[in-house]
Amino acid sequence: MSSVAENNKRIARNTIFLYVRLLFSMGVSLYTSRIVLDVLGVDDFGINAVVGSLIVMFYFINNAMAGASARFLTFELGSDNKEKLKKTFSASLTVHIIIALIIFVLGETIGLWYLENKMVIPEGRLVAAGWVYHLALLSSVVSITQVPYTASIISHEKMDVYAYVEILSTCLKLLIVYLLLIGNFDKLILYAILTLCVSVIVTLIYRVYCIKHFEESKYKFSFDKTIIYPIFSYSVWNLLGNMGYTFSKQGINVILNLFFGVAVNAACGIAAQVGTAISAFSMDFLTAVKPQIIKYYAKNEIREMENLMINATKYSFILLVALSVPIILEIDFILGIWLKNTPEYADIFCQLFIVMLLVDILRMNLTFGVAATGKMKNFNIITGTIGLSAPIIAYLLLRLVKNMYIPILTTICIYGIVFFATLFILKSLINAFSVARFLKQVFPPCLTILFASAILPVFIRLSLAEGWLRLILVILSSIMVIAALTYYLALSKEMRARVLIYKQKYIEHVMKLIR
C-alpha cells in the first residue's frame, strides 16, 4: 500500500474515533445545556456565558502557544528526530507554565477590574459572578499547562485515546448536571466549582497517559535557545493572529453585554453551544487531517499536501452543510423541543452563528498549511489585524444603530476577508501551491451543494405544518440531495470508483446474509 493510501486510511480511522466521541458528547451536551439553562435561569446562564467569554479573551495567549506546540512536535515526529522531540516537548511545557502564570496575573488584575466596573451584571449577582470568574480562571490555568500533552497525543495521531478521554469528560459533565439538580447551594457557583473539578480530572488522565506511552513527555526543565527561540518566534506572531480570531469571536458576547445585558448574552450563549456542536463534526475531521498536512510539508511532498488541503476543505464544508441546512430551516422547532424556556432572539442568533461557521471552515486547512511552514509573521500581522477590527467596527456601528445582530454580522464579513487573505499568504510562502486550483476545485462544488441542497427542504418547509414529520422530511431530503451532489461534484474519479467498489462489496455481503 502506498504512503498516501496509508495516510488516508489513518485519517479515516482517526476520524471515526473522533466522530464516535462527538456523537456521544454532542447528545449529552445538548441535554445538559437544556437542564443547566432551566436550573440556572436566563440571567445566571447569561452571566456564565459572558464571564466565560471574558476568560477566553485572555486565553488567546495560550492558543498561540498551543499552535506552536502542535506544529513543532508534529514536525519533529515527521522528520524522525527523537532527541530534538524530547527537548521540544520540555521547552514547550516550560513556556506554557510561564504563560499560565501571566494569564493568571492578567485575569486577577485587568480582567477582574473589567468584571467589577464595566460588565452589566444583575443586582445582587456580582458576588456569584466573581466566584464564577475566579474558578473559570483557575480552570483555564490548569488547561494551559495541559496543552503540550494534548498536542503530543494529536501529533502521534492517537485519536482513539483522545476520543476515550473526551467521552469520559462528557460523562463527568453529565454528573455535574445531576449534582446541580440535587445540590443545596448557589447553583451558579456550584456549577463553576464542578466544572473546575472536571478540568483537573481530565488533565491528570492526559498527563499520566502521555508520560507512560510517549518518551518525550517525561519533562526535564531546559532552556535550549536553539529550540526555545524558534518556538517563541513562531508564538509571538501566532499571538497576534489568535488575538484577532479570539477577540472577533468572543468579543460578540462582551459587546452585546455592554449594549443589551445578560438576557441577550443567554441567547448568544445558546447559539454558541449550537454552533460548537455543529462545527465539531467538521473540526474533528480537520483534527485528524492537520498532522498529515504538517508531515507532508516536513517531507517536502507539496503536491500531496495541496491535494489533502483541497479535499479536506471540501469534505469538511459539505459535512457542515449537511448539518446546517436542516437546523437553519427548523431552528424554532428544534429549540422548542430542546429547551424548556428558549431565550428570546436565540433562533436568529443560532442561524447567524451557523453562517459564520460555514464561512470560517473554509480557511482552516489553509491555516494548517501556513503553520506547517513555520513562517507566521506576515500571516498573523495581516489576519490578526483584520480579526481585531471586528469588535471595534461592531462597537462603532452599535453606537450608531442599536441592532443586536450587528456584532455577528460584522464577524461574518471579517471571516470572509480573512479567508482570502490566508489563501494568498499561503501562496507567497509555498510557491508551488496553486490558488486557482484551490478555488476551482473547492468553490464550485461547495457553493452548488450549499444552495441546491436547500431547495427541496425549503419547499417541504413551506408545504407542511411545523412538527416532527416536517423535521424528518427536511433532514432526509437534505441528506439525499447532498449525498448525490457530493458523489458527482465533489469526489474525484478515483474516489467515485472506490465508492462503487465498496457499494458492490456491501451488496454482495447483504445477499450472502439473505441466502
Look up residue 75 and give its three cell numbers.
Answer: 514536525
With b for 16 or more beta-carbon neighbours within 10 A and e for fewer, the 155-183 pattern comes to bbbbbbbbbbbbbebbebbeebbeebeeb
214-217 long-range contacts, CB within 8 A, separation 24+: 214/152, 214/156, 215/82, 215/86, 216/73, 216/82, 216/85, 216/86, 216/88, 216/89, 216/90, 216/152, 217/89, 217/148, 217/149, 217/152
Look up residue 124 and give its three cell numbers.
Answer: 445582587
Quick check: 7 pLDDT over 60? no
Separation CA 377–CA 455 (nearest Å): 43
CA nearest neighbour of 68 among 225, 234, 307, 183:
234
Quick check: 137 pLDDT over 60? yes
pTM score, whole prediction: 0.68
Taking residues 400-419, report their average pLDDT.
90
Q: What is the pLDDT of residues 427-453, one digit of tens each?
A: 999 888 889 999 999 999 999 999 998
pLDDT band at 461 (very low <50, low <70, confident <90, very high): very high
Quick check: 288 pLDDT over 80? no
Higher pLDDT, 174 or 77: 174
Q: Sort 11 into a burial class: Cβ within 10 Å, 0-12 / 13-18 / 19+.
A: buried
